[in-house]
Amino acid sequence: MNIFVNEQALEVAPDCNIEELLEVLDKPLQGTAVAVNQNILSRSLWGDYFLQEGDQISLFQAIAGG
């Protein structure tokens, strides 16, 4: 199954949820925000959302500077 992560194409196994995606990508779970098709997915829902073909996933970090 093909998805996009920060605009880069990526092939993932079917039945992959967001937590598993972050593990595959070796991204920290702490301090990362995730959006699926331009909608932020709450941390509490990462285990419940299973990736769909063509999903646009955006990963980014909180920034604190000012």
Partner 1 sequence: MLTESEMLRYSRHLLLEDVGELGQKDLKNGKVLIIGMGGLGSPAAMYLAGAGVGSLVLCDFDCLEVSNLQRQIGYQTGDIGGDKVELMKHRLEMINPEIRVRSINQEMAEDQLLMELMMVNLVLDCTDNMASRQMINAACVKAKVPLIVGAAIRLEGQLMFFDHRQADSACYHCLFPNSDEQALNCSNSGVLGPVVGTIGTMQALEAIKHLVGLPSGVKNKLKLFDGKTLDWQTFAVKKDSECSVCGKNR
Q: By CB under 8 A, how many residues form the interface with partner 1?
A: 19
Give the Å distances, CA to CA, from 21 to 15, 63, 65, 66. Answer: 10, 22, 28, 31
Answer for the pair 50, 17: CB distance below 8 angstroms, yes or no. Answer: yes
Distance separating alpha carbons of residues 40 and 50, to the nearest angstrom:
15
61 counts as binding partner 1 under rule CB under 8 A: yes
56 counts as binding partner 1 under rule CB under 8 A: no
Identify which of residues 9 and 30 has a Cβ nearer to partner 1 in the complex: 30
Residues near partner 1 (CB under 8 A) are 28, 30-31, 33, 35, 38-40, 42-44, 58, 60-66
